[in-house]
């Protein structure tokens, strides 16, 4: 059970933000417009010193959030991209065998004891993201991206690292975090994550933003698009999301569309413009057909 | 409420109510929730909601339940709505409708919340003796009839458009979205009214009692057979990821096999880091299996809700697997794979189209498993191979015709695996005309009443 001292400790280690408003303001400066729920959860993750597990559809800015936090906190972003078959050697650390062999051949007349203590030293250790994030005093943001793609065994490894923030290298001893990194895990729910991992994290679901927030995002990412057109773009995307398509358009698609309209020089959204550029928003032919039918695009 | 005072007591009561709704919350999470509440303060309700959700929830699917329980334990206000400035409470029905129309047109969230509170207060009260009185969302909505405002709001918007005549055609395009948008806002208002009514009743009877009775379950715990339209839409969203999961489950092969043939190229490549000594032999990857899926679905009226769900599942599976063949039956079997292919754009009408276009009934229209299975084994045996996996979806109610387990046995012998998903609860199997146990002796039969059960089932299925 954690005591309040533990938390104070964690806060001292992280403690990048003083209030929810500050989170919102500073993320906005970095070009990330956070919804109230996002700002609150980031603040809590920072305050309680707990890892943050983010789920949500593709393209709503899960990875972006980690990058923005790193930027405003002045921290280094350490990224572990998960994929099927990622293992300890890729996630934690690995000995540099080739260099060790060279070292052994170079020192031919040394005694075995000397060589042994030498080749298992820091110099021959290849730190992978998890170890990198723990070592050193400078602030870091550890981004574990698409954790659902990794195998179940890796989750076990993460449990150990995320609960104690320490890694044991048998030859060197235990490396303990002097300063806890701000940890962000993202998942697209390709696989159900284990309950144990979920329990160690704060959970945040980023869905599609509210109309008003999305308009602000579009204005930020595609300046130059006039206000009325921005509003129409967001409204149409909102209608598309309500349609139950194979792949609902995400914020990334909204921004792409806004930029496309900018490039096309369209000043209003009418049928011909929508029909020509619908492919930017919808990525499946059947979705395009369905949307065209529902929006009466052919009824001209 | 017992156990502690003030905020701590509220929180533990809240956590207990969540647990009763099937959300698994441990002590560690409660402590975190307390810390979060302390850090955030109680001034901003939405922040508190976000903070508690972050610490207590682990899945987005639990969010609707969480929100309902949160509204009960951390209500927006206490007591009857306070009259604001000029307006006097209680308002009359027409006045409420006027204001609601204005709020809907302007998408004014604050005004809608205010109106919901006033509407429940003036239209929703029933009973007078203490103990039997209360507030009813149903009665409020029946009297207020917000759905009838749609035309009026739209007309109002159009008028506003004409006043600002200068705009050219562009605005007209987004106008066709307006109807759907207003409809969604009205739906939102109905939700607000329901929340408000629950809050008022909870003040009278205590939040614990209301949380137990009046909170709607999450979609994955709703019975297929009794799901209504809104829940079916919700189910649709839950079923698609399940189909994907089933697909990976069936296609899974142990990638890093313990035995197998050495992959020479990759072993030598790997040995470079150990000075050319092959310390770790690399085995050749197995090709992922490509299962062939055969679905045999009962589409008769007795399982209408389930058949709807079946169609959702079939559709979703069809997107995931390259080789799926779908057969439907009532008392005669017909292949409907093509219909499903064509029906992608319009999944809702699919089951009615199957009944109309495929030959699934003969002579009468009640289901007959024996004949259907016999026909399937006889005519469509070519669809089965030692690599195919068969799912039978149906309630095994034979209408007192012979069950013909022999035919099912023949199907089982030709296919690799056969699973039977039964939408009835296990205790109802073998009652009346159900031949569940006759079939269960031949193949594995599973109770599959809710999306949650289907999910658990998929997790348990053996890999092919």
Shared domain for B353 and B444, answered yes or no, is: yes
Shared domain for B36 and B171, answered yes or no, is: no
Question: If pLDDT is split at 50, 70 and 90, which confidence band does A252 have?
Answer: very high
Mutation site for A-interface testing, chosen from B32, B37, B50 by largest number of A Cβ within 10 Å = B50
- Helical ranges in B164-299 per DSSP H: 170-205, 207-214, 229-251, 264-271
Range picked from A21-30, B19-28, B225-234 for highest mean pLDDT:
A21-30
Answer with the residue of higher pLDDT: A260 or B458. Answer: A260
Q: What is the CATH superfamily name and number for domain A4-84+136-205?
A: P-loop containing nucleotide triphosphate hydrolases (3.40.50.300)
Indicate the domain borders of chain A: 4-84+136-205, 211-294
Neighbouring residues of A158: CB distance < 8 A, sequence distance ≥ 6: A130, A144, A147, A185, A197
Please write the tens of the pLDDT for every residue from B373-419.
888 888 888 888 887 888 888 888 888 888 888 888 888 888 888 88
pLDDT for B319 equals 66
Contact B274/A at CB under 8 A: yes
Partners of B40 on chain A (C-beta within 8 Å) are 20, 40, 43-44
CA distance linking residue A147 with residue A201, whole number of Å: 13
Q: If we measure between CA atoms, which residue out of A203, A82, A53 comes closest to residue A154?
A: A82
Contact B164/A at CB under 8 A: no
A162-171, A257-266, B32-41, B202-211: segment of lowest average pLDDT:
B202-211
- Whether residue B167 lies inside any domain: the answer is yes
pLDDT for B195 equals 84
Count of beta carbons in the 10 Å neighbourhood of residue B233: 14
Give the pLDDT mean for B264-289.
77
Q: If we measure between CA atoms, which residue out of A233, A150, A236, A234 comes closest to residue A197?
A: A150
Question: If pLDDT is split at 50, 70 and 90, which confidence band does B106 have?
Answer: confident
Shared domain for B375 and B433, answered yes or no, is: yes
Question: What is the separation of C-alpha B411 from the centre of its chain, rounded to a whole number of angstroms?
Answer: 32
Q: Is B127 exposed, middle or buried (0-12, 13-18, 19+ CB in 10 A)?
A: exposed
Shared domain for B319 and B393, answered yes or no, is: yes
Domain hosting B69: range is 6-73
A296 to each of A187, A246, A272, B394, how far by Cα in Å?
A: 36, 19, 12, 38
User: Are B54 and A202 in contact (CB < 8 Å)?
Assistant: yes
Partners of A43 on chain B (C-beta within 8 Å) are 39-40
Q: What is the dihedral of CA B428, B242, A158, A137, to 10 degrees?
A: -130
Q: In what order do the strands lie in the sheet with B333-335?
A: B333-335, B324-329, B292-298, B388-393, B417-422, B444-447
Residue B447 has pLDDT above 60, yes or no: yes
CA distance linking residue B88 with residue B335, whole number of Å: 65
Give the pLDDT mean for B233-238.
67
Give the pLDDT mean for B1-7.
55
Shared domain for B46 and B114, answered yes or no, is: no
Range picked from A129-143, A152-166, B181-195, B209-223 for highest mean pLDDT:
A129-143
- Whether residue B232 lies inside any domain: the answer is no
Give the pLDDT mean for B325-347.
77
- Whether residue B256 lies inside any domain: the answer is no
Cis amide leading into B341 (omega within 30): no
Question: If pLDDT is split at 50, 70 and 90, which confidence band does B226 have?
Answer: low
CA distance linking residue B68 with residue B73, whole number of Å: 9
Answer with the residue of higher pLDDT: B305 or B292. Answer: B292
Question: What is the separation of C-alpha A129 from the centre of its chain, rounded to a whole number of angstroms?
Answer: 14
pLDDT for A285 equals 86
Among the partner-chain residues A41, A97, A228, the one whose CB lies closest to the CB of B273 is A97
Shared domain for B283 and B297, answered yes or no, is: no
CATH of the domain at B371: 3.40.50.410
Shared domain for B401 and B306, answered yes or no, is: yes
Buried b / exposed e over B408-436, threshold 16 CB at 10 Å, is bbbbbebbebbbbbbbbeeeebeeebbbb
Shared domain for B441 and B340, answered yes or no, is: yes
pLDDT for B34 equals 92
Partners of A36 on chain B (C-beta within 8 Å) are 46-47, 50
Phi/psi zone of residue A185: left (φ > 0), alpha (ψ -120 to 50 degrees), beta? Answer: beta
- Whether residue B54 lies inside any domain: the answer is yes
CA distance linking residue A203 with residue B56, whole number of Å: 8
Shared domain for B274 and B314, answered yes or no, is: no
Shared domain for B23 and B49, answered yes or no, is: yes
Distance from the A79 Cα atom to the nearest Cα atom in chain B, whole angstroms: 23
Answer with the residue of higher pLDDT: B400 or A185. Answer: A185
**Between A and B, how many residue pairs show a Cβ–Cβ distance under 8 A?**
122
Count of beta carbons in the 10 Å neighbourhood of residue B85: 5
- Whether residue B249 lies inside any domain: the answer is no
pLDDT for A13 equals 45
B70-74, B90-94, B145-149: segment of lowest average pLDDT:
B90-94
Answer with the residue of higher pLDDT: B154 or A182. Answer: A182
A97-106, A202-211, B339-348: segment of lowest average pLDDT:
B339-348
User: Are A48 and B32 in contact (CB < 8 Å)?
Assistant: yes
Range picked from B45-59, B121-135, B165-179, B448-462 for highest mean pLDDT:
B45-59
In chain B, the percentage of residues whose pLDDT exceeds 70 is: 74
- Whether residue B188 lies inside any domain: the answer is yes
Domain boundary among B19, B41, B73: B73
Instruction: Report the residue of chain A nearest B344, measured CA to CA.
Output: A286
Among the partner-chain residues A1, A43, A268, the one whose CB lies closest to the CB of B169 is A268
Shared domain for B455 and B330, answered yes or no, is: yes
Range picked from B6-15, B98-107, B143-152 for highest mean pLDDT:
B6-15
Instruction: Report the residue of chain B nearest A243, measured CA to CA.
Output: B180
- Whether residue B192 lies inside any domain: the answer is yes
Contact A202/B at CB under 8 A: yes
User: Are A205 and B233 in contact (CB < 8 Å)?
Assistant: no
Distance from the B369 Cα atom to the nearest Cα atom in chain A, whole angstroms: 34
CA distance linking residue B456 with residue B463, whole number of Å: 14
CA distance linking residue B34 with residue A112, whole number of Å: 57
Domain boundary among B287, B305, B321: B287
User: Are B57 and A238 in contact (CB < 8 Å)?
Assistant: no
Partners of B188 on chain A (C-beta within 8 Å) are none
Give the pLDDT mean for B204-208.
73
B7-16, B274-283, B301-310, B340-349: segment of lowest average pLDDT:
B340-349
The structure tokens listed for B285 are 């990857």
Q: In total, how many domains does chain B have?
A: 4
Give the pLDDT mean for A292-296.
79
- Whether residue B439 lies inside any domain: the answer is yes
Q: How many residues does chain A have?
A: 300
Shared domain for B340 and B454, answered yes or no, is: yes
Contact B456/A at CB under 8 A: no
Contact B233/A at CB under 8 A: yes
pLDDT for A32 equals 92
Please write the tens of the pLDDT for every residue from B343-356.
655 656 666 777 77
Question: If pLDDT is split at 50, 70 and 90, which confidence band does B1 have?
Answer: very low
């Amino acid at each position: 059970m954690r005591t309040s001292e533990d938390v104070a400790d964690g806060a001292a280690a992280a403690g990048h933000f003083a209030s929810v408003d500050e989170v919102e303001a500073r993320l906005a400066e970095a070009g990330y417009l956070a919804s109230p729920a996002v700002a609150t959860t980031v603040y809590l993750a920072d305050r309680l010193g707990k890892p943050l597990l983010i789920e949500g559809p593709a393209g709503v800015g899960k990875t972006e959030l980690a990058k923005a936090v790193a930027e405003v906190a002045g921290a280094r972003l350490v990224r572990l991209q998960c994929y099927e078959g990622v293992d300890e050697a890729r996630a934690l650390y690995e000995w540099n065998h080739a260099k060790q062999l060279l070292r052994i051949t170079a020192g031919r007349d040394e005694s075995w004891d000397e060589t042994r203590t030498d080749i298992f030293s820091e110099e021959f250790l290849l730190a992978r993201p998890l170890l990198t994030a723990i070592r050193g005093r400078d602030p870091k943001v550890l981004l574990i991206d698409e954790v659902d793609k990794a195998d179940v065994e890796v989750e076990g490894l993460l449990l150990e690292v995320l609960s104690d923030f320490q890694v044991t290298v048998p030859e060197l001893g235990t490396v303990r975090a002097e300063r806890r990194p701000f940890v962000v895990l993202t998942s697209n729910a390709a696989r159900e994550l284990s309950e144990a991992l979920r329990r160690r994290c704060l959970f945040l679901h980023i869905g599609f933003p509210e109309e008003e927030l999305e308009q602000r995002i579009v204005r930020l990412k595609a300046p130059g698009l006039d206000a009325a057109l921005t509003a129409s773009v967001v409204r149409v995307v909102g209608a598309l999301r309500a349609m139950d398509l194979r792949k609902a358009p995400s914020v990334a698609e909204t921004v792409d569309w806004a930029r496309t309209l900018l490039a096309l020089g369209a000043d209003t959204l009418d049928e011909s413009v929508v029909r020509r550029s619908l492919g930017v928003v919808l990525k499946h032919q059947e979705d395009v057909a369905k949307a065209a039918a529902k929006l009466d695009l052919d009824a001209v | 409420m017992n156990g502690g005072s003030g905020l701590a007591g509220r929180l533990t009561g809240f956590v207990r109510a969540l647990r009763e709704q099937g959300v698994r919350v441990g002590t560690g999470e409660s402590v975190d929730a307390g810390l979060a509440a302390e850090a955030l303060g109680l001034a901003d309700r939405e922040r508190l909601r976000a903070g508690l959700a972050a610490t207590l929830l682990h899945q987005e699917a639990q969010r609707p339940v969480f929100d309902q329980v949160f509204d009960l334990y951390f209500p927006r206000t206490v007591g009857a709505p306070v009259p604001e400035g000029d307006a006097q409470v209680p308002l009359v029905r027409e006045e409420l409708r006027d204001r609601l129309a204005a709020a809907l047109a302007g998408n004014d969230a604050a005004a809608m919340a205010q109106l919901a509170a006033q509407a429940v207060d003036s239209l929703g009260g029933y009973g007078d003796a203490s103990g039997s009185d209360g507030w009813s969302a149903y009665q409020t909505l029946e009297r207020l009839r917000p759905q009838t405002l749609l035309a009026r709001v739209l007309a109002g918007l159009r008028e506003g458009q004409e006043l600002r005549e200068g705009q050219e055609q562009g605005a007209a395009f987004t106008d066709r979205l307006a109807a759907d948008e207003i409809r969604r806002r009205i739906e939102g208002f109905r939700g607000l009214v329901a929340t408000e009514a629950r809050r008022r009743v909870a003040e009278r009877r205590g939040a614990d009692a209301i949380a137990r009775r009046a909170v709607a379950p999450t979609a994955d715990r709703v019975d297929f057979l009794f799901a209504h339209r809104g829940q079916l839409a919700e189910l649709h969203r839950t079923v698609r990821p399940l189909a994907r999961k089933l697909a990976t489950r069936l296609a899974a092969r142990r990638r890093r096999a313990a035995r197998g043939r050495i992959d020479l190229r990759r072993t030598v490549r790997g040995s470079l880091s150990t000075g050319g000594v092959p310390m770790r032999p690399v085995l050749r990857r197995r090709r992922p299996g490509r299962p062939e899926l055969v679905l045999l679905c009962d589409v008769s009226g007795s399982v209408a809700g389930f058949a709807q769900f079946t169609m959702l599942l079939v559709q979703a599976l069809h997107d995931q697997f390259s080789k799926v063949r779908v057969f439907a039956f009532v008392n005669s079997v017909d292949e409907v794979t093509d219909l499903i292919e064509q029906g992608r754009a319009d999944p809702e009408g699919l089951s009615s189209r199957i009944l109309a276009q495929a030959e699934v009934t003969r002579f009468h229209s009640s289901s007959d498993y024996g004949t259907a299975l016999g026909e399937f084994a006889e005519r469509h045996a070519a669809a089965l191979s030692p690599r195919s996996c068969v799912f039978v979806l149906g309630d095994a109610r034979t209408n007192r015709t012979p069950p013909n387990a022999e035919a099912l046995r023949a199907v089982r012998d030709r296919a690799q695996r056969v699973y039977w998903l039964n939408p009835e609860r296990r205790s109802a199997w073998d009652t009346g005309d159900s031949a569940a146990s006759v079939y269960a002796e031949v193949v594995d039969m599973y109770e599959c009443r809710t999306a949650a059960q289907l999910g658990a089932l998929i997790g348990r299925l053996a890999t092919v």
